[in-house]
Amino acid sequence: MKYIDELNSEQKKAVLHRDGPLLIVAGAGAGKTKTVTHRILHLIREGVAPENILAITFTNKAAKEMSERVSKLLDSDPDISRSVVGFENKPFVSTFHALGVHILKENSALLGIPRHFAIFDKSDSLRAIKEAMQTLNIDTKAFEPSRMQNIISREKGNAVTYMSYKERLRNEYIPKVIASVWEKYEEILKSEKALDFDDLLLKSAMLLKNNPDILEKYQNKWKYIHIDEYQDTNKVQYATAKLLAKKFRNICVVGDSDQSIYGWRGADIKNILDFEKDYPDAKVILLEENYRSTQNILEAANRIIQKNKLRTPKKLFTKNVAGEKIGLCGAYDEVDEARFVAKKSRQLIEDSGVSPRSIAVLYRANFQGRALEEAFMAESISYQVLGTKFFERKEIKDIVSYLRAAMDPTILSDIKRVINIPARGLGKVTLVKLFSGKKDELPVAAQKKIDGFYLILKRIAEKAAVEKLSETIKFILAESGIETALRQGGAEDQERLENVREMVTFATKYDVLPIDEGMEKFLSDVALASDQDELMKNHDAVKLMTVHASKGLEFDYVFVTGLEEDLFPHKRMGVEKVSDEDSEEERRLFYVAITRAKKKLYISYAGVRTIFGSRQVTMPSQFVYDIEEDIIEKEEQFEGGGKIIYLD
């Protein structure tokens, strides 16, 4: 079989294993997506119905790639009939959050939520938290809203509901404050017919746990389950996977304990390390052959990660060439370091013909990006900062809110957002009276403006019922007055206008679906968009991002900057001693950074760095010393830089 011959010996074992639990420990660049997609193909060839296969990953980018590769494999296989794999009976490939949306929408009536519920992103949730705190007269300086938001999010990720949190409360002041804010926050979500991102996971898991009939329906639907990046699962995701797999136990998890870097947001490395305890009969397969990087890059990665204790032992190897040595730059300060990165990038682009999109610059903390951006601007090099989500831009959220409000005018969060966009002269007092049911007390002129707004929503709804989605969005732009307002604005408004036009282009891919289905999928996809979706535009520009944001990506040339003690590895302010657990996660994070590189890796540090307005002398990171000198070469600075600092 040709598709089996394409695999190495360990990949073949994973693909040919059919029934029972399977753990695939896949090192960085070891072809895990290829292994999983070929496994899905093999299951279908063996007679498993495509609709009985579930594959879950963490990012939209990864889910999109996996779905496309599965479709391509199935379409090109001569032994699989078109009647076997059609539009209605494909494997279900999605993210955990998209799976939650799917389950919640199918059972919305039971849960008492509208099928087209709103999904609050982080900024929406923070607004609601602030509103809850203001209602309760809680000082936002004494209790930081974002901190409150993080605590509630972390609890939900640990499978804790508001009621269970309240029940375990002791007579302590701060937890009581959190509980009161959480309660009011839940009331706001309910009143605005919304769920937050954590609810998508928690409520779907609770639904499965508390309703045996519904659980059995999904168990019978998805008899073969695949979970990618299993090391990144939190308690709720772990519980969902375990519930769905309980009946048939055909669960295949793929991951790497060495790439577990999200402990700070609830991911539990024990989920992958204890898989064999959960499933004693599990088959375990190690994928150690790397297809991405040169041997020198892998040598550095292996030497870095072998110091960790919480891991499944393995050693990456490759048949690729040894490649170039790792470039090391010891800069005078962060400006000098950024200048080196930008000028070296220019050298790669102009002298070696490297495409800008093949270069990535990684850093541990977001504040490091400022100096780097200035350096790239000074060199006139096109760059793209990964982090600003397209679908979190104000103008894009406005269009989506118009669409959702037209579908359901009772969703107050969307009405509040756009009733004055563009400006209609409706003041705060007017809106307070409107939303408290006292519209008839308003002046006639104000009532006419409000009626005009709701008439716009009615016309949008009528349009959406009969037109393709892209045409509906064009109609919203014109009918709402947004397009006219942006045309009359300055340069920033022109950029916003370009973004909303891009939204129309994006929407065309949903035009092939039935109108209702296209609308529903569009709204779900927009709500679940991630940082990495920005890369789908594929700008020919150098990518600047945090190491966390780089997870799952790969580039020919990678710069890892800021390798200084207390920065990378990072030390939280106010913490005297870093725990062993945090220390190992920082080492895993550096391992992830290194293994993004395919051809050449550069690492750098600054001897002096300005932090919070204060210039501080720094020490090179322990990670620099962990890489043997035989695979390192010192990079020469460019003219005009500060004093060069070399390691002895």
Any bridge partners for residue 283, and if so which?
Answer: 22
Q: What is the β-pairing status of strands 383-385 and 542-546?
A: parallel
- Number of Cβ within a 10 Å radius of residue 471: 16
Alpha-carbon distance of 400 to 561, in angstroms, equals 38
Is there a catalytic annotation at residue 505?
no
497: three-class secondary structure by DSSP: helix
Structure tokens at 467: 């037109």
Q: How far is CA 142 from the centre of its chain?
A: 30
Of the candidates 32, 156, 184, 543, the residue annotated as catalytic is 32
Is there a catalytic annotation at residue 228?
yes
Alpha-carbon distance of 609 to 367, in angstroms, equals 12
What is the SS3 assignment for 210-247? Answer: HCHHHHHHHHHHCCEEEECCHHHCCHHHHHHHHHHHCC
Of the candidates 231, 259, 384, 618, the residue annotated as catalytic is 259
Of the candidates 39, 203, 596, 600, the residue annotated as catalytic is 596
Q: What is the β-pairing status of strands 542-546 and 555-560?
A: unpaired
Alpha-carbon distance of 107 to 101, in angstroms, equals 10
Of the candidates 10, 11, 33, 551, the residue annotated as catalytic is 33
Is there a catalytic annotation at residue 32?
yes
Q: Which residues make Cβ contacts (< 8 Å) with residue 419, sequence separation at least 6?
A: 426, 431, 450, 453
Is there a catalytic annotation at residue 368?
no
Is there a catalytic annotation at residue 33?
yes
Contact 267/6 with Cβ under 8 angstroms? Answer: no
Alpha helices in 17-59 (DSSP H): 32-45
Say if residue 8 is exposed, middle or buried (CB neighbours under 10 Å; 0-12, 13-18, 19+): middle
Contact 391/503 with Cβ under 8 angstroms? Answer: no
Residue 392 is classified by DSSP as: G
Of the candidates 155, 196, 199, 228, the residue annotated as catalytic is 228
Alpha-carbon distance of 267 to 158, in angstroms, equals 9
Is there a catalytic annotation at residue 229?
yes
Structure tokens at 93: 């490939």
* Nearest 10 degrees: Cα torsion 148, 152, 158, 163: 140
Nearest to 361 by CA among 373, 349, 378, 351: 373
* Active centre residues (catalytic): 32-33, 228-229, 259, 596
